[in-house]
Amino acid sequence: MVLLVAASGLYAVWFPRGGEVAGGGHLRSLTSQEFDAAVASGVVLVDFWAPWCGPCRQQLPILEDVARRVEGRAAVMKVNVDEQPEVAGRFGVQAIPTLILLQDGRPVQRFVGVQSARALVGAIDAAGAGAAGHE
């Protein structure tokens, strides 16, 4: 993959609108129309990002790793704040990357800035254990 592309080109290569993220079959990019249904049940980690954000690009391979490690237990999804500002506004996102962990559509934990896979998987595991205890 060529990294020396314009920001708009980078978006087109890495994050097709409303679908799987190119090269990382475990991440899905959400539109505002898809968001509520996609996070309504189960444990979902949502990454609020923008294509021009260096730390967001740094977070991407970590998220791909997390998505592989939690496959079948949780989903990892992305929301482009430039294209879906209403979703970011609903969650009070003021800095990116912001990652919000949702359980059955409700926010249970928020991370701001680049996060380690260990921290994210730990939070997902804790949320999943909490969900199992309520069933």
The Cα angle at residue 48 between residues 55 and 103, in degrees rounded to 5: 125
Angle of the 54-70 helix axis to the 117-133 helix axis, nearest 10: 50
H or E element: which one contains 107? Answer: strand 106-112
Q: How far is CA 73 from CA 8, 96, 104, in A?
A: 33, 25, 13
**12, 53, 112, 121: which is the annotated catalytic residue?**
53
Q: How far apart are CA 124 and CA 3, in angstroms?
A: 31
Q: Could you say which of 30, 39, 46, 56 is catalytic?
A: 56
Q: Indicate if 56 belongs to the active site.
A: yes
Q: What are the residue numbers of the active site?
A: 53, 56
